Amino acid sequence: MEKKNHSIECSVKQCANHCENADYCALEKIRVGTHEQNPTVSQCVDCESFILGAHRKTE
Ligand code: SF4
């Protein structure tokens, strides 16, 4: 993934949609959701566009 979307900052390097050289997403848009019934803090929400990058190293 090369193209940075400056509207979507992201530090999840393990994602296949992450820009390799910068902390941005390469998608035009993403979907955010929650795995909680009643989300109260940022840890309750998730990027549902995450795809595990098969070529990524697990560090
Ligand atoms: S899809 Fe979500 S987790 Fe993956 S790089 Fe984009 S914003 Fe980050």
> Residue 14 has what DSSP assignment?
T
Long-range Cβ contacts of 42-47 (<8 Å, 24+ apart): 47/10, 47/12, 47/15
Q: Which residues line ligand 1 (CB under 6 A)?
A: 8, 10, 12, 15, 17-18, 25, 27, 30, 47, 49-50
- pLDDT number for residue 56: 52
- pLDDT number for residue 59: 47
- pLDDT number for residue 55: 62
Testing ligand 1's pocket by substitution, the residue of 20, 30, 45, 51 carrying the most ligand atoms inside 8 A of its CB is 30
- In tens, the pLDDT along 1-59 reads 568 999 999 999 999 999 988 999 999 999 999 999 999 999 999 999 999 997 655 54
Cα 12 to ligand 1 centroid, rounded to whole Å: 7
Cα 42 to ligand 1 centroid, rounded to whole Å: 15
